[in-house]
Structure 1
Amino acid sequence: MFSQYQQQCEEFIVANMKTDLAHDLLHVKRVVALATQIAKGEQAELNVVLPAAWLHDCLSYPKNHALRSLSSLHAADKAIIFLRSIDYPEQYLLAIHHAISAHSVSGGLVADTLEAKIVQDADRLDALGAIGIARCIQVSSQLQRPLYSPEDAFAVDREVDDQRFTIDHFYKKLLTLAASMNTELGKEIALQRTRFMESYLKQLALEV
């Protein structure tokens, strides 16, 4: 059923996603693909998972914005207003709202449904692997953060500070995501992508 609404969701995202280079239409499409793959394996409700995946970042405050922690909740509110405007079936809206509002780490909400857990996994997976490395550097470049500390690149003898250094974000957040995955397929993909990121850090250590 959702296929008839997909074009409208994509057009809405193109018109409304205005944050940083790492949160663009390409990010959304990757999350949708991952969410679809996981949802089919888990036999989840695609009429909830797919609109939630498409619209999860329809509003996203910048990383250094005072309202950053409210991005997912405000995105959920905005998504529901839009879905009602295109007459999306009301029976799915509450579950979609929860799936969007619970997807973000910074939002602090617990994903209580299978569909919410799948959207959360899909979004977190896109922060890992080769794509995750590229996205992390994109955001840090916009914030004008250097790649690493010249004195202690890998935070061996200092506190991790991802507000100052790009590589610190790997240790602060990215390398911990695999342990937070909800689904078996999410865990499997996350571990593979995390291993790639660890190999990147080992190679980087040889070059700096």
Structure 2
Amino acid sequence: MEKEMYLKIENYMLTCMRDGAHDCHHIYRVLYSALDIASEYNIDKDVLIAACLLHDIGREAQFKNPECDHAVVGADMAYKYLCEIGWKESKANHVRNCIFAHRYRNDNLPRTIEAKILFDADKLDVTGTIGIARTMMYKGIVSEPLYSVDSNDKVLDGNGDEPPSFFKEYNWKLKNVYDKFFTDRAKAIAEKRRKASIDFYESMYREVSSVHKTGKHLLEASLE
């Protein structure tokens, strides 16, 4: 991709990012991971770079209306923008299809190698410690707690039918993403990060459970 075109697309991306957990640094990490993964494949780099830069531009629309799917909205936004700046319809549509299929929470599976690489690079950013940090940040943005407790003040581990929380997101997504990668390179990178994620969750669960268990008894003993 010519540098002038890259800068044009990058600048457009920068005007769209409003979410601290999905900021421009997330975009750059996804792009850099994608280029690392792509070194093993014969790909259309223009499509891959544009898809990485633009994959989260629909996030603001999803914040305003949770019924929106940022992958669907962003795919259409990217297609329209690329056509406006002179991209061929076929290439712009390829980028749209990559973005459309990058989300973990839907059934739109990536089909081209560029789409698979984007999916894998984006999912790498929810592995290891960076995945923990970004998830906790996002939960704060949407005003969801770190964990929930039951009627007896027992800390719920996130595996059951309970309100949204960091623990629930960990057990639904962060713990399971390691088996969802399409490329061997992404699988290898993710596997190196897995233990850090597990250790954090298990340590945090033990810590908060201990506080609640001990504190509940102390409080009961202090009340008449």
Answer whether contact 2:78 2:92 (CA < 8 A) is retained. no
Q: 1:79-113 CA deviation, whole Å, 9 max, x = no partner?
A: 01111222134442221111110001223201111
Counterpart of 1:154? 157
Answer whether contact 1:59 1:72 (CA < 8 A) is retained. yes
Answer whether contact 1:73 1:107 (CA < 8 A) is retained. no
Counterpart of 1:164? 164
Counterpart of 1:74? 73
Structure 2: which 5+ residue stretches go unaligned?
209-224
Counterpart of 1:203? 203
Offset at residue 207 of structure 1 (A): 2.4
Distance (whole Å) between structure 2 residues aligned to residue 185 and residue 64 of structure 1 = 35
Distance 1:164 1:63, change over 3 A: farther
SS in 2 for 1:41: coil
Answer whether contact 1:52 1:100 (CA < 8 A) is retained. yes
Offset at residue 160 of structure 1 (A): 4.9
Distance (whole Å) between structure 2 residues aligned to residue 191 and residue 130 of structure 1 = 12
Counterpart of 2:181? 181
Equivalent residues in 2 for 1:3-82, closer than 5 Å:
3-18=3-18, 20-60=19-59, 61-62=62-63, 65-67=66-68, 70-82=69-81
Answer whether contact 2:181 2:187 (CA < 8 A) is retained. yes
Q: Report the identity percentage.
A: 29
Aligned length: 202
Offset at residue 164 of structure 1 (A): 2.8
Paired letter, 2:194: T
SS in 1 for 2:39: helix
Offset at residue 59 of structure 1 (A): 1.0
Paired letter, 2:198: E
Offset at residue 30 of structure 1 (A): 0.7
TM-score by length of structure 1 reads: 0.89
Distance (whole Å) between structure 2 residues aligned to residue 71 and residue 144 of structure 1 = 19
Answer whether contact 1:34 1:122 (CA < 8 A) is retained. yes
Distance 1:160 1:122, change over 3 A: farther
Distance (whole Å) between structure 1 residues aligned to residue 193 and residue 2 of structure 2 = 30
Paired letter, 1:175: K
Q: 1:97-134 CA deviation, whole Å, 9 max, x = no partner?
A: 11110001223201111110000001111111111111
Answer whether contact 2:43 2:114 (CA < 8 A) is retained. yes
Distance 1:41 1:2, change over 3 A: farther
Distance (whole Å) between structure 1 residues aligned to residue 115 and residue 173 of structure 2 = 20
